[in-house]
Amino acid sequence: MRLSLVDVVLLALVAALAVAVLPRCSGHAVRAVAVRASWTLTPGVLNPAVTQATIGSTICRRGWTRTVRPPVSYTNDLKHKGLHAYRLRGPPSRYQEDHLISLELGGHPTDPRNLWPEPYPRASDVDSIENDLNAKVCSGRLSLEAAQLQESELKHNDG
């Protein structure tokens, strides 16, 4: 049986449509590609005011991060630059300009080498991990340095 050019084009269109629609109909969510922090663009920078000796008056004091958090106008400007540097597409609202080393773990609040565009929903998921690490540091179950290393590894290796 010989197929005409029209038949071949129609089969190609049906196959392309099946490939495009099938993952959505299978009941399984299609996972987005993880965006990992770049060691070059975002190595992470620490706040010199936060050390193991000062955690009681800094990261373990309720409300302290509000005193050092940069304004949205500052982070939005960095987010646009970061999206370009990371070659990410889509609206900026799909990303959170996030601290690689979180404020809760003594990351530098304004150094651009500590801020990067982390995609949602991953950015929200990581917030709970940061809070858990902070609780471990403040309870003495984990050193500040160990928590900072875990957070850096998480964002550089897992996104």
Q: What is the pLDDT of residues 94-134, one digit of tens each?
A: 999 999 999 999 999 999 999 999 999 988 889 999 999 99
In a domain, 43, yes or no: no
Cα–Cα distance between 159 and 147 in angstroms, integer? Answer: 17
In a domain, 44, yes or no: no
Cα–Cα distance between 148 and 47 in angstroms, integer? Answer: 11
In a domain, 132, yes or no: yes
Cα–Cα distance between 69 and 112 in angstroms, integer? Answer: 13
pTM of the model: 0.78
Phi, psi angle pair for 149, to nearest 5°: -65, -40
In a domain, 22, yes or no: no
In a domain, 81, yes or no: yes
Q: How many structural domains are present in the chain?
A: 1
Burial of 108 (0-12, 13-18, 19+ CB in 10 A): buried
